[in-house]
Structure 1
Amino acid sequence: MNQQKWNVSKRISLALLNLSCVLMVPTLLAPKALSAEKILLYIGPLEFSLAVESLEAYATDGTIGPDLAVYINRLTEEQREQFRELLTTPAKLTPVAVAQFLYSPQGETILREVGKLIQTRAGQSGFYAIRSALILAAADPEGLTPLNVLKKFPTYGIRINSDRAFGLLERVSGVIRDTQVAIAKIEQLSLTEAQTVENANFPLNLGEMGAVQFNKQTLTLNDLPRKRAFFTDLYLPQTDRRVPLIVISHGLGSDRQSYEYLATHLASHGFAVAVPEHPGSNDSQLQALANGLAKDITPSRELIDRPLDIQFLLDELEQTYPQQIDWQKVGAVGQSFGAYTVLALAGAQINFERLQTECDPDNPKLNISFVLQCQALDLPPLNYNLKDDRVKAVIAMNPIASTIFGASELNRLEAPLMLVTSTADAVTPALDEQILPFSGLTIPNRYLVMLKNGTHFSTIGASRNDVELPPVAIGPNPAIAYNYMESLSVAFFNTHITQQPQYSPYLSAAYAQSISNRAMPLSIIQSLSLGESQ
């Protein structure tokens, strides 16, 4: 958080203090006279309580009551201010949007897990109470703040399931420790490799716009058999020669503008770039959910439809531009859900057997991306033909990969692969979703790119319906990550798509070190051993 290295004990202390707040981040008629007065934690015969009134007093004027002092005194001054700000920072969501999310299948899945931890005083699941509190808080003039959610909780006390809480904290500390070990190893491997290169020389500034002129047009594609129409932005270089093609697939809740910066950069370097907008998982889908016009964050079928969108797009472009595009030189880039999409295109198949084992409701993961990955179990367990042989190389940024694929499926890939991981990614956690899967890879031409201090949102550009995110979610200046992705994508696709060996040195640890920014240090490695991998 804010690049500050908290030790494990301070993390746990803060987690105990705001457990009921942080885990509730995303029946209307609850009795108004009844609201939570205490947060209760039972350890054997002992009861520990924290009055909601104490939290409110602290948030209002910094007063530290006796019951709060035992926790607050463990924090630094900066951490205290962060926590105080957290208590009263509203999420800009309407009660309708909150209700629609919490009544969606994905929202109910999250509520069920949180309800096992945050319970009523009688020890019953907090499922309905949490949902009620979140909706009522969103409808209140004070807005949806963690403190207001506590005040709207429709029972006298909020009981924390101590066994589950301490088990969770133990697992969290273990994940933090293992992640830090993995990050340190990647940094060391990258640094060691960079130091072995004497007199490294990188004359090309790959982060600068190229000299190629291009035109942008928006296409409307209609796949009649699937009853699926979608827009695609096509950036086509103005040249007499046939050009390579790169497809960019956006993440859940984004749109085709979110990687316009990368599309224009690649086009200026001579690549045609196609950026489709996936209608079942774009920003319009989330807006429809918020307005009560959709029941899912994204339907399970989207796991199949997204790769098929790109197959259809390639078919249409091949018919329309048979001479302008070199169909032996096609690559793909995706982020998050888009990274899943391009990995499926490259040949990774949905691993239904692994999903059956890992998606265990009695053993929830500390990984919010499991909500999306485990949705695949709603699909018929068929051998879906999502691979497209035209795709010759893939960049997957912040992918979901641990369970829906696993290393066994990723090792099916024949195309060169670049996995991009961000160490502060709370949506697709670096260790589970990218680092461990990468450590199990044996395919040639593989790269792991690590953005230290980067988040899930660091590489996502501006788009038409941007939601304001807190600084901790965005991380360091996104322009740093944009520059990394621009430079590395030019190097990667010129090496593995256009077969220009002079770009190969730019896919090295030495090059990473040469462009690394200390606010978001960059590392590149080509192999990693962490013991047993997923």
Structure 2
Amino acid sequence: MTTVRPWRRIGLAWALGLLGSLATALPGHTAENLIVTFGILQRSIPIADLEQFATTGELTPQLQIYRRQLQISDEQLAQIQEVLSTPVSLSPVAVAQFLYTEQGILLLEQIGRVVQTPVRQANVQALRGALILAAADPDRGFTLVNVLRTYPTEAMRIDLAEGLAIAQEINQAILQSEAAFAQVQAIAAAEAAANPIDADAVLQLVQSERQYGVDRIQVVVPGLPTPIQLYLPEVLPGQRRRPPSGFPLVVVSHGLGGTLNSYSYLGEYLASGGIAMAALEHPGSNNQQLYALLAGRSDAVVQDEEFLRRPRDVSLTLNTLSRLNQSPSPLQSQLDLDRVGIIGQSFGGYTALALAETSFDMAGLAAACPPSTLSFNPSLLLQCQATRLSDPGSSLADPRIKSVFVMNPVGSVLFGPTGYGQIEVPVMVVAGTADTVAPAFPEQIEPFTWLTTRDRYLLLINQGTHFSTIGDITQGDQPLTIPPEIIGLNPEQVWSYMQVLGLAYFKLTLEGDRRFQPALTPAFAAALGGEPYLLSLLATLTPEGIEGLPDAPELSPADSPELQPASPEAPLSPTVPADRP
């Protein structure tokens, strides 16, 4: 979308889709008309007409007029029908619980810039109620047209100018992201072509390290309600023996709603290659916390203190393992706690970065929070929660952490350039081009350019989503059902990438084995990746390298959608919808 004219054709569809992207009307009246305004221009669309179109695909005479005025193509019309009619399976309790959280209220307030009462006022209660009632409707179900129908005033107003302004901001972010992806992929491809390697030999080297069995051991950590899961390399007859100083250790921190089993595929692989892995469960942000929220037993997605507790959970785990490693126990002398790494995904990525000597950017947080508009970066809603905390300084850091491997991390606003610049240990950042929760450009690619540590790597997974690396996301026992198209096709393929590159990365950064350096090159990543998840890897990228990314086209009143009718008609009353022509 690079010209103004497409905005004119999809403006109404986008404004409707904006409402449909959320989940919450008070009992009583229900809306009969949708008022679409652009400045002083406005038109009324009977919701019954939209219901008929959503059900049958047939346009009433009035909708035919608007279609011609907005220049909506057949393809766009089919998309609008799909947006209006596609049901979403949502529990009304879950919808209500989320929309009363801080993040839910903020979303409602932001969308109130676009969706208003007939007198041009945002009404969080009305919007929340409409979404809840639609989710609770056993007959019509949660569809956008049902949300419109259950809005508790005689009409719902859509401010198209505000909607287009927000859409333009999001479009600019999308264009910048796509340009950044293309830049990273082009640079990586050029470097791979200029520096070829024997990829088969490198892969064989990584796989040849897997000479150990895997001993799963549950370890009780004082202060954590759930025992951690330790994946300990087990010496096999006739194979490599335990290193004299013990096995290097990696701790893994799951994302919001995860469990200690979310990365068992990594634990098994790393342990078989001589790297122990400890998987812990963060009680304030695991799957049970989301269950509690959705069942009404919690009023927050996470409590503020979780930003402080998560890194301390990891330090508690290291304290316990250190004690057991130094005293008579099955773990005595098994671990080398001078060689400790951390893996984190999403909120766990924040946790890993906080442990690596970085600090909060309280001034940056205050300037960016709360977001002034609907953002292309939903992770800001979580990061901004930290504004209520006192600055922890360096108290969350743990000097035992010597290497960081983060997947889809969040922290762009929370840490800022100063925080990322403080990290001195090696860092691997994994990003997915199809991540809609913590988008790759603002949350991984740009922050990567702020890193100054000597050993840093950026891995971009083409078509990778926010959920591609999570090992238990496809299992049925989840607080929220994630549609397969959101998870992505064949996530096991991405898991295999994380296994190979993770083992090579920790062999290099924790053991200092330079034989594995070729595994962290653009040429090897390009050879390892395959459709649909092609890989691009860089070891350096500067802020200047991503400057000059394209902006979205500006939308001015002169380019506005022509909402005038085919024949003269008086403007609508601010409170009473006009009759159908």
TM-score by length of 2: 0.84
Residue 528 (structure 1) shift:
1.8
Query: Retained in 2: the 8 A contact 1:333–1:394?
Result: yes
Q: Is 2:8 the counterpart of 1:16?
A: no
Query: Retained in 2: the 8 A contact 1:35–1:153?
Result: yes
Of the three residues 39, 50, 58, the one matched with 1:63 is: 58
Residue of structure 1 in register with 2:174 after alignment: 176
Residue 382 (structure 1) shift:
3.8
Residue of structure 1 in register with 2:526 after alignment: 513
For residues 2 and 100 of structure 2, the distance between their equivalents in structure 1, rounded to whole angstroms, comes to 36
Residue 132 (structure 1) shift:
0.1
Q: 1:47 to 1:248 in 2, by over 3 A?
A: same
For residues 524 and 48 of structure 1, the distance between their equivalents in structure 2, rounded to whole angstroms, comes to 51
Structure 1 residues 327-385: Cα deviation after superposition (integer angstroms, max 9, x where no partner): 11111111100000000111111211211111145466432111111111111234251
Q: Is 2:116 the counterpart of 1:112?
A: no
Secondary structure of the 1:235 match is strand
**After the TM superposition, which residues 426-441 of structure 1 pair with which residues of structure 2 at under 5 Å, given as runs?**
426-441=436-451
Query: Retained in 2: the 8 A contact 1:119–1:158?
Result: yes
Q: After the TM superposition, which of the residue ranges 364-373 and 499-508 deviates more from structure 2?
A: 364-373
Q: 1:68 to 1:486 in 2, by over 3 A?
A: farther
For residues 255 and 398 of structure 1, the distance between their equivalents in structure 2, rounded to whole angstroms, comes to 17
Unaligned runs of 5+ in 2: 236-240, 327-332, 548-581
Q: Is 2:220 the counterpart of 1:220?
A: yes
Q: After the TM superposition, which of the residue ranges 362-371 and 401-410 deviates more from structure 2?
A: 362-371
Letter paired with 1:269: G
For residues 164 and 245 of structure 1, the distance between their equivalents in structure 2, rounded to whole angstroms, comes to 51
Letter paired with 2:233: P
Query: Retained in 1: the 8 A contact 2:343–2:406?
Result: yes
Of the three residues 273, 279, 284, the one matched with 2:277 is: 273
Q: Is 2:33 the counterpart of 1:38?
A: yes
Q: Is 2:91 the counterpart of 1:94?
A: yes
For residues 150 and 18 of structure 2, the distance between their equivalents in structure 1, rounded to whole angstroms, comes to 16
Secondary structure of the 2:195 match is coil
Letter paired with 2:469: T
**After the TM superposition, which residues 490-501 of structure 1 pair with which residues of structure 2 at under 5 Å, given as runs?**
490-501=503-514
Residue 394 (structure 1) shift:
0.6
**CA root-mean-square deviation:** 2.6
Secondary structure of the 1:298 match is coil
Secondary structure of the 2:481 match is coil
Q: 1:27 to 1:83 in 2, by over 3 A?
A: closer
**After the TM superposition, which residues 268-307 of structure 1 pair with which residues of structure 2 at under 5 Å, given as runs?**
268-307=272-311
**After the TM superposition, which residues 142-153 of structure 1 pair with which residues of structure 2 at under 5 Å, given as runs?**
142-153=140-151
Secondary structure of the 1:56 match is helix
Q: Is 2:261 the counterpart of 1:257?
A: yes
Residue of structure 1 in register with 2:427 after alignment: 417
Query: Retained in 2: the 8 A contact 1:458–1:475?
Result: yes
For residues 9 and 305 of structure 2, the distance between their equivalents in structure 1, rounded to whole angstroms, comes to 41
Structure 1 residues 465-494: Cα deviation after superposition (integer angstroms, max 9, x where no partner): 223323431233212221221121111111
Q: 1:28 to 1:56 in 2, by over 3 A?
A: closer
Q: After the TM superposition, which of the residue ranges 455-464 and 346-355 deviates more from structure 2?
A: 455-464
Residue 518 (structure 1) shift:
2.5
Q: Is 2:159 the counterpart of 1:157?
A: no
Q: After the TM superposition, which of the residue ranges 522-531 and 463-472 deviates more from structure 2?
A: 463-472
For residues 483 and 329 of structure 1, the distance between their equivalents in structure 2, rounded to whole angstroms, comes to 24
Q: Is 2:195 the counterpart of 1:200?
A: no
Structure 1 residues 385-434: Cα deviation after superposition (integer angstroms, max 9, x where no partner): 11111111111111112100012111111110011111121111111111
For residues 295 and 347 of structure 1, the distance between their equivalents in structure 2, rounded to whole angstroms, comes to 32
Letter paired with 1:138: A
Of the three residues 213, 235, 238, the one matched with 2:231 is: 235
Secondary structure of the 1:221 match is coil
Structure 1 residues 27-81: Cα deviation after superposition (integer angstroms, max 9, x where no partner): 96421xx32333332223221444433433333232244156359974564x665
Q: Is 2:458 the counterpart of 1:462?
A: no
For residues 351 and 365 of structure 1, the distance between their equivalents in structure 2, rounded to whole angstroms, comes to 20
TM-score by length of 1: 0.91
Query: Retained in 1: the 8 A contact 2:405–2:427?
Result: yes
Of the three residues 378, 390, 402, the one matched with 1:380 is: 390
Q: Percent of counterpart pairs with the same letter?
A: 36
Letter paired with 1:309: D
Q: How many aligned positions are there? A: 523
Query: Retained in 2: the 8 A contact 1:14–1:71?
Result: no
For residues 208 and 52 of structure 2, the distance between their equivalents in structure 1, rounded to whole angstroms, comes to 52
Query: Retained in 2: the 8 A contact 1:359–1:374?
Result: yes
Secondary structure of the 2:112 match is helix
For residues 369 and 150 of structure 1, the distance between their equivalents in structure 2, rounded to whole angstroms, comes to 27
Q: Is 2:363 the counterpart of 1:353?
A: yes
Secondary structure of the 2:105 match is helix
Query: Retained in 2: the 8 A contact 1:114–1:126?
Result: no
Of the three residues 405, 408, 418, the one matched with 1:408 is: 418
Q: After the TM superposition, which of the residue ranges 289-298 and 14-23 deviates more from structure 2?
A: 14-23
Q: After the TM superposition, which of the residue ranges 156-165 and 517-526 deviates more from structure 2?
A: 156-165
* Higher RCO (C-alpha under 8 Å, 6+ residues apart): 2
| Rg larger in structure | 2
Secondary structure of the 1:327 match is strand
Query: Retained in 1: the 8 A contact 2:248–2:339?
Result: yes
Q: 1:157 to 1:220 in 2, by over 3 A?
A: farther
Residue of structure 2 in register with 1:474 after alignment: 487
Unaligned runs of 5+ in 1: none
Q: After the TM superposition, which of the residue ranges 157-166 and 432-441 deviates more from structure 2?
A: 157-166
For residues 104 and 7 of structure 1, the distance between their equivalents in structure 2, rounded to whole angstroms, comes to 38
For residues 415 and 255 of structure 1, the distance between their equivalents in structure 2, rounded to whole angstroms, comes to 27
Structure 1 residues 429-459: Cα deviation after superposition (integer angstroms, max 9, x where no partner): 1111111111232221111111122111111
